[in-house]
Amino acid sequence: MKITLKDGSVKEYEQKKTVIEIAADLSEGLARVATVGRINGELVDLRTEVCEDCELQILTFQDEDGKGAFRHTASHIMAQAVKRLYPETKLAIGPSVADGFYYDVDRDTPFTTEDLEKIEKEMKKIVKEALPIERFTKSREEAIAFMKERQEPYKVELIEDLPEGEEISFYKQGEFVDLCAGPHLMNTKAVKAFKLTSLAGAYWRGSEKNKMLTRIYGTAYPKKAELDEYLVRLEEAKKRDHRKLGKELGLFMMREEGPGFPFFLPKGMVLRNTLLDYWRELHKKHGYVEISTPIILNRKLWETSGHWGHYKDNMYTTVIDEEDYAIKPMNCPGGMLVYQSEPRSYRDLPMRIGELGLVHRHEKSGALHGLFRVRCFTQDDAHIFMTPEQIKEEIKGVTGLIDEVYSLFGFKYHVELSTRPEDSMGSDEDWEIATEGLKGALDEMGMDYVINEGDGAFYGPKIDFHLEDSIGRTWQCGTIQLDMQLPLRFEAEYIGADGEKHRPIMIHRVAFGSIERFIGILIEHFAGAFPTWLAPVQVKVLPISDKFADYGEKVLKQLDQAGIRAEIDLRAEKIGYKIREAQLNKIPYMVVVGAKEEEEGLVAVRSRFEGDEGQKDLGQFIDSIKKEIDEKLVRETKAKEE
């Protein structure tokens, strides 16, 4: 049999071999670090036998799927430890997730952080036991009886929801058996470094109608050094938590009167409006016009768009004049009505329409998280209507715009192209034109990208931008989605050069994504210490004593007239205290004024970037800070807080 490997080379074997045997034949080092395999695109255990010609990839912890299998095994080790220590506990589900794993469990006595330490200790024993992990299957009926015998009601319910005649797989390690599709590692000894990180509540199957379970979170790595590095990042992330900093810096608040509906405070509005001013400036430069569409629109519109049938559970609805209306969860249908407001010609295309539209979506209360997951948010939407021939150039234009945004804030990013899913709409020809348009644009720009086969939207392929923040976390923000279906649903048209009616192709795209979420990301990325151009307060004027308040007010007035956002601290406090508080509030610049400064028309400058910068002429200081603001510079913070 012929085995085609990832690099295109071919290995031939006369007899069947397991994936791990092939890995060992290729390299003993590879066999040591291998976690799972992929045969003809399907993930499999290393113990899986290869019996015929195929394409084979050996995955390690460095691959996302390899990492997932490693951490999924860690979740089973944790569940085994829980059952050993607290045998009355019932198990629900335990998948791997980004940065770790979790297991949902049901126990009458709530778990505590002290319990996590005991569970970790037991997990270490299980790893040391190097228990072989074995897969076996049962029929649906046998599987139900098996789990009933083991008194695992949640597993029984999961099996009962599977189709008749389906073969059910289980994984066994020592005395522990779990219902699982896999794949898993060969044994428990490879999971050498792990940490249980937190406890949370989670409704069974995500429904508020079901029982609240305990979710135990953890993470796992092949090496302790990698785990330690992750835990340092975790601690750093806690310090940067946008909910904590948002409160301390007076940016936004959440109230029980409106769960999931953020309140922006004065300083937060300055930050928000500065971002939106930049958005408008950028879009004007790139040839966009701005519109605003209503927040509430009639049910008929949402039926035409498909949202009423497919998204109604996430929409807030109301009745006006005895007719159904919905608060918009998306801006696109309103954008379609704007396009249809007058006849269009091919000469009008491409037509780039931007909208900062407030949308509302019902999120479950347990999913709400600061500004990251809310029930109302502003999308920096844009919809581009174009001819098929214009796809490539428009995609390049949007990609360039998004690159400009992320580069400004110092974000690295990677790009993923998602192709046609199984439940798609539209013809093969339409999909081929759209997908090749996206690929061609990325290729011509020389951009590296990963292809996610079958992960596109049902109406068209898409490009997603995953940005990396200052502590290495990734966030999916920007997206470009090609849509051939909404113009069809709304019967959108343009008159072509041939005088005939044609259907435009539509791009949906966002750069920030949700303004609220992007602000949350920026808070954590900069740890609240925003670049000067974005900072709600750019300069704090600090008179040494009351005697110099008048000169301080004079300095403040000049800063204000120059368009610099400044405040003055006139409290009867020592100057050291005032400086310290300005530092805690992440103010980019402080200007201290006393006798010498007043006499010579100077200011003593302290910055977040260099610390004490000495005395400067006020006019020169204003010119330098205006230049920094106008150029939207992102300066590195070097000075330490005193």
- Give the DSSP letter string of 524-537: HHTTT---TTT-S-
Residue 532 within a domain: no
- Structure tokens given for 169: 């797989």
What pLDDT sits at residue 642? 47
pLDDT of residue 260 exceeding 80? yes
- Structure tokens given for 463: 């490009």
pLDDT of residue 168 exceeding 50? yes
pLDDT tens digits for 520-547?
A: 999 999 999 999 999 999 999 999 999 9
Q: What CATH number is given to the structural domain containing 181?
A: 3.30.980.10
52 and 71 share a domain? no
- Give the rounded distance of the alpha carbon of 563 from its chain centre: 35
Residue 235 within a domain: yes
170 and 24 share a domain? no
- Residue finishing a domain among 327, 350, 372: 327
547 and 488 share a domain? no
- Residue finishing a domain among 60, 80, 107: 60
Q: What CATH number is given to the structural domain containing 343?
A: 3.30.930.10
497 and 597 share a domain? no
508 and 616 share a domain? no
303 and 338 share a domain? no
Residue 342 within a domain: yes
200 and 318 share a domain? no
Residues forming the active site: 332, 361, 379, 381, 383, 462, 508
Q: What CATH number is given to the structural domain containing 575?
A: 3.40.50.800
470 and 371 share a domain? yes
Residue 245 within a domain: no
163 and 85 share a domain? yes
Determine what percent of the chain is predicted with pLDDT higher than 90.
78
Mean pLDDT for the chain?
93
**pLDDT band at residue 317, thresholds of 50, 70 and 90?**
very high
What b-and-e string marks burial along 555-568, b requiring 16 or more CB atoms within 10 Å of the CB? bbebbeebebbbbb
344 and 473 share a domain? yes
Count structural domains, the chain. 5
Q: Show Cβ contacts of residue 627 under 8 Å, excluding neighbours closer than 6 positions.
A: none
Quick one: which of 108, 103, 141 has its CA closest to 123? 103
What pLDDT sits at residue 1? 84
Residue 311: count other Cβ atoms within 10 Å of its Cβ.
16
Q: Give 365's DSSP letter.
A: G
Q: Show Cβ contacts of residue 630 under 8 Å, excluding neighbours closer than 6 positions.
A: 533
474 and 587 share a domain? no
571 and 605 share a domain? yes
**pLDDT band at residue 640, thresholds of 50, 70 and 90?**
low
CB of 134 within 8 A of CB of 171? yes
Quick one: which of 520, 473, 518, 519 has its CA closest to 237? 473
Residue 117 within a domain: yes
The DSSP code sequence of 549-574 is HHHHHHHHHHHHHTT--EEE--SS--
pLDDT of residue 80 exceeding 90? yes
- For the chain, how big is the Rg over CA atoms in Å? 29
Would you say the C-alpha torsion 532, 535, 538, 540 has a positive or negative sign?
Answer: negative
Q: Which domain holds residue 22?
A: 2-60
- Give the rounded distance of the alpha carbon of 114 from its chain centre: 31
Q: How far apart are CA 293 and CA 306, in angstroms?
A: 18
Residue corresponding to tokens 């204003």 = 622
pLDDT tens digits for 182-226?
A: 999 999 999 999 999 999 988 898 887 899 999 999 999 999 999
Q: What CATH number is given to the structural domain containing 21?
A: 3.10.20.30
Average pLDDT (112-141) is: 95
Residue 130's SS3 state is: coil
pLDDT of residue 337 exceeding 90? yes
pLDDT of residue 424 exceeding 80? no
What pLDDT sits at residue 254? 95
Residue 402 within a domain: yes
- Residue finishing a domain among 475, 502, 525: 525
Bridge partners of residue 566, in order along the sequence: 539
Residue 62's SS3 state is: coil
pTM comes to: 0.81
**pLDDT band at residue 639, thresholds of 50, 70 and 90?**
low
- Structure tokens given for 601: 């028309």
pLDDT tens digits for 402-419?
A: 999 999 999 999 999 999
Average pLDDT (137-147) is: 94
Residue 314 within a domain: yes
Average pLDDT (357-371) is: 90
Residue 9 within a domain: yes
